[in-house]
């Protein structure tokens, strides 16, 4: 064992004492035995040597079940001598480690995790999500159901007791109802309160203070005092207050958990696009199926029609068309011939090809996109919820005030300890941060529900909070400002018969432009004997003459130099020796794109356009929509650099993009939005997803986010104002625990009612400035 390893073991004594996870030290050591062999994989085999002499490991933390564990893990690992990076992505359960092997070993790092009770495995996309995440969601939902059922029944009994107090209910009847309430409430509190109790215990062990600490303390004291009052046949019990607190806060906890679970699938869905195997052709022409991890640079890989290209490389045989939306983000297929570059994740559309491998596995562009998303996602995961920031100072003050009230009334007020404790309980209950805990989730629920009704799905818990703070909006073009579906815009010269012949030939092709042509002339009869030349076009014999439909330099027949520039895709038709006729196509701009851009600009936002399309096309669209700053021909890394440059000068950027190539930019932006028509990974990477052909929902989401931000601040103010009034009254002994419970519930109702105002004035698909 090295000195660093010995230091790691000593450091862990403190870390285990601070453990916020429900795994004790001995259980952690036992579980750690499996940490190095989970899934039969040795983590040492997955260690990467970096250029600067450090080593790195990406691992999946299978036992990470609460975000509050993250600081403890990062702190325990970061304190080890030689550790440069220790970062945990709570949404993906992914641990990134970088260390100096001369100062600390992998065994020392794994020992740290073992003593903390965490099992780790080498990173594998197939291990993300799955049964563990589903089990956690079901457990939280069960706790919510138990709390809600018990709260409803205990409230019915409490109403009966309150009514009986006004009508001289006998003590025997009251005691019976209290005991029934206890039998319902105590098991429910013990079961439903576990998420808060575990978090509170973990926070106290680390010497920290979270919102769960006063919640757990208030619930425990309310339940304990209620049981004590029940045993002595006291007039008041507070089971309903404890259960109501748990029920409302579990709603917020479950909402946050559900949103995080959606984001959890991002990397899994991206890497699912990667081919698992490749057909490698040897020098003797024999083909062998290999795992992509076994493909090496220089290997020739055969790719059949409809298959995903498994490697980055160059075409060495055949010609075809590929769906290259991964790189360009454009819906148009790209013609590839010998010498053309292709990337893993693109799809071969027309003819078989052979590719010479340049990069495979983790060295491909697809893997790099996944890493860019992971880095951006880790940075974003470190945002702290607004309510937690406030509670960090608020929670300790509550406990101090309750203790002062208890000690003060026992010493100065000369009260019996039970009466003094009732005053302290009243202080804890009346100041219990239920309203504060609901301040953010209540607004989120209202805003998310309203947006969902109109076709916007909010996937990240703090997406609306970030959206409200933006000052710049960056749009992609194809599939975002436009629908990504080409349409026939016109024909230069030619006759109606030429158009019918072209449409009849196009019926024999699945090319997007061919489909647009057949849509424009639905009654054209199909032409027989059509031959498709991938990357060039179609050829057929029509009425004894050769007819070609495709690229200009292939069909020929154009005199008089270069044709006039057309800002969009085009096809050419040539019939025998006649001059070629141009068919012009255009992508359909979303019907409300101009109004949406104008609405965002009217709010003082800087609207820009980045696209992988040709600069002339991008320039024409930007001019039509009134966007002054634009850039065409952008690759994924270009968009990343632009967003990073904007962030470096203090800009908070919302990226609205569609297509797999936009996924890293979506993950890098301050907040991201994607249309539901986009590639699946973009939808997963985005914080918000909207449905339909309209773009107005982007402006509507921003409007609701700004309104929600104001309401969150109002709710925080209402919660603090309530406590400024209620706390002095409770400390003065003027508020009983029963009144405190009613006041606490009332404050929650006020906050919730104010949060419902976020739904007012929403206009669905209408652009509101």
Contacts of 249 (CB under 8 A, 6+ apart): 196, 215, 434, 437, 438
Contacts of 522 (CB under 8 A, 6+ apart): none
DSSP 649: T
DSSP 108-169: HHHHHHHHTT--EEE--GGGSSSHHHHHHHHHHHHHHHHHHHHHHHHHHHHHHHHHHHHTT-
DSSP 50-76: -TTS-EEEEEEETT---TTHHHHHHHH
Query: Are 100 and 84 spatial neighbours (Cβ–Cβ below 8 Å)?
Result: yes
- The helix (H) or strand (E) run that includes residue 492 is strand 482-492
Contacts of 549 (CB under 8 A, 6+ apart): 502, 505, 506, 537, 538, 539, 555, 571, 572, 573
Phi and psi torsions of 536, nearest 5°: -115, -60
User: In whole angstroms, how far apart are CA 339 and each of 422, 447, 556?
Assistant: 82, 52, 24
Q: How is residue 426 written in tokens?
A: 């009243």
| Residue 13 annotated in active site | no
Query: Are 478 and 658 spatial neighbours (Cβ–Cβ below 8 Å)?
Result: yes
Using DSSP's 3-state secondary structure scheme, residue 348 falls into strand
Residues 266-301, buried b or exposed e (16+ Cβ, 10 A)? bbbbbbebbbeebbbbeeeeeeeebebeebeeebbb
Q: Are strands 347-348 and 320-323 parallel, antiparallel or unpaired?
A: antiparallel
Q: How many Cβ atoms from other residues are within 10 Å of residue 699's Cβ?
A: 25
Residue recorded with tokens 């019918």: 500
Which of 335, 317, 339 has its CA nearest to residue 550? 335
DSSP 588-626: EEPTTHHHHHHHHHHTT-EEEEE-SS-HHHHHHHHHHHT
Range 758-761, long-range pairs (CB < 8 A, 24+ positions) = 758/443, 758/446, 758/447, 758/450, 758/704, 758/707, 758/708, 758/711, 759/446, 759/447, 759/449, 759/450, 761/707
Side-by-side strand order, sheet with 312-317: 287-291, 277-281, 300-303, 353-359, 312-317, 341-342
Residues 581-590, buried b or exposed e (16+ Cβ, 10 A)? bbbebbbebb
65, 299, 476, 709: the catalytic one is 476
* Strands in 228-383 per DSSP E: 277-281, 287-291, 300-303, 312-317, 320-323, 334-336, 341-342, 347-348, 353-359
Instruction: Give the residue numbers annotated as catalytic, written as ranges.
Output: 476
């Amino acid at each position: 064992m090295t000195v660093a390893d010995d230091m790691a073991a000593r450091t862990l004594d403190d870390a285990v004492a601070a453990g916020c996870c429900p795994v004790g030290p001995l259980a952690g050591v036992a579980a750690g035995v499996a940490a190095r062999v989970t899934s039969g994989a040795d983590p040492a085999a997955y260690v990467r040597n970096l250029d600067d002499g450090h080593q790195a490991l990406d691992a999946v933390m299978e036992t990470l079940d609460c975000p509050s564990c993250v600081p403890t893990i990062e702190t325990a690992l970061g304190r080890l001598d030689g550790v440069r990076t220790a970062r945990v992505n709570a949404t993906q359960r992914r641990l990134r480690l970088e260390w100096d092997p001369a100062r600390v070993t992998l065994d020392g790092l794994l020992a740290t995790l073992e003593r903390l009770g965490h099992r780790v495995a080498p990173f594998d996309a197939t291990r993300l999500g799955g049964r563990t995440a589903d089990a956690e969601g079901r457990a939280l939902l069960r706790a919510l159901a138990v709390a809600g059922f018990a709260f409803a029944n205990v409230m019915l009994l409490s109403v009966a007791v309150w009514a009986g107090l006004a009508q001289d209910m006998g003590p025997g009847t009251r005691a019976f109802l209290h005991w029934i309430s206890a039998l319902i409430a105590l098991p429910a509190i013990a079961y439903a309160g576990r998420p808060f109790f575990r978090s509170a215990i973990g926070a106290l062990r680390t010497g920290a203070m979270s919102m769960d600490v006063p919640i757990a303390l208030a619930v425990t004291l309310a339940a304990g005092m209620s049981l004590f009052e029940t045993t002595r046949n006291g007039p008041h019990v507070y089971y309903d207050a404890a259960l109501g607190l748990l029920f409302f806060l579990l709603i917020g906890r479950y909402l946050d958990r559900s949103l995080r679970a959606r984001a959890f699938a991002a990397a899994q869905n991206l890497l699912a696009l990667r081919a698992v195997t490749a057909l490698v052709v040897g020098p003797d022409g024999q083909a062998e199926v290999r795992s992509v991890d076994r493909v090496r640079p220089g290997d020739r890989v055969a790719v059949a029609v409809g298959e995903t290209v498994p490697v980055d490389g160059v075409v060495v045989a055949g010609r075809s068309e590929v769906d290259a939306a991964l790189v360009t983000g454009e819906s148009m297929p790209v013609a590839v011939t010998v010498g053309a570059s292709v990337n893993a994740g693109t799809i071969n559309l027309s003819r078989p090809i052979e590719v010479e491998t340049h990069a495979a596995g983790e060295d491909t562009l697809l893997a790099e996109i996944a890493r860019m998303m992971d880095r951006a996602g880790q940075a974003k995961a470190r945002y702290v919820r607004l309510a937690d920031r406030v509670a960090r100072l608020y929670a300790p003050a509550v406990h101090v005030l309750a203790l002062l009230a208890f000690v003060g009334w026992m010493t100065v007020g000369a009260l019996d300890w039970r009466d003094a404790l009732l005053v302290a309980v009243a202080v804890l209950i009346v100041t219990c941060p239920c309203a504060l805990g609901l301040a953010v989730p209540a607004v989120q629920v209202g805003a998310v529900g309203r947006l969902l009704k109109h076709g916007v799905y909010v996937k990240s818990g703090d997406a609306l909070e970030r959206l409200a703070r933006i000052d710049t909006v960056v749009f992609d073009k194809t599939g975002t400002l436009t629908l990504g579906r080409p349409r026939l815009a016109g024909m230069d010269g030619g006759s109606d018969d030429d158009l019918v012949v072209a449409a009849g030939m196009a019926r024999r092709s699945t090319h997007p432009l061919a489909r647009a042509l057949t849509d424009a002339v639905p009654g054209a009869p199909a032409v027989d004997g059509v031959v498709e030349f991938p990357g060039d076009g179609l050829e057929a014999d029509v009425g004894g003459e050769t007819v070609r439909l495709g690229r200009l330099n292939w069909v020929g027949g154009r005199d008089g130099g270069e044709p006039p520039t057309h800002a969009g895709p085009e096809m050419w038709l040539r019939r025998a020796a006649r001059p070629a006729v141009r068919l012009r196509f255009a992508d359909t701009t979303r019907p409300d794109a101009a109004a949406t851009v104008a609405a965002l600009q009217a709010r003082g936002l800087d609207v820009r356009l980045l696209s992988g399309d040709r600069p002339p096309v991008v320039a024409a669209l930007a001019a039509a929509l009134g966007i002054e700053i634009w850039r065409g021909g952008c690759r994924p890394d270009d968009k990343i650099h632009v967003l990073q440059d904007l962030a470096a000068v203090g800009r908070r950027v919302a990226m609205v993009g569609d297509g797999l190539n936009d996924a890293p930019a979506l993950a890098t932006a301050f907040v991201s939005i994607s249309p539901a028509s986009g590639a699946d990974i973009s939808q997963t990477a985005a914080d918000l997803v909207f449905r339909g052909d309209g773009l107005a929902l982007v402006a509507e989401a921003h409007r609701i986010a700004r309104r929600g931000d104001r309401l969150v601040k109002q709710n925080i103010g209402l919660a603090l104002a309530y406590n400024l009034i209620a706390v002095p009254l409770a400390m003065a002994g003027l508020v009983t625990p029963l009144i405190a419970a009613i006041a606490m519930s009332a404050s929650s109702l006020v906050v919730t009612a104010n949060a419902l105002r976020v739904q007012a004035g929403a206009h669905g698909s209408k652009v509101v400035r």
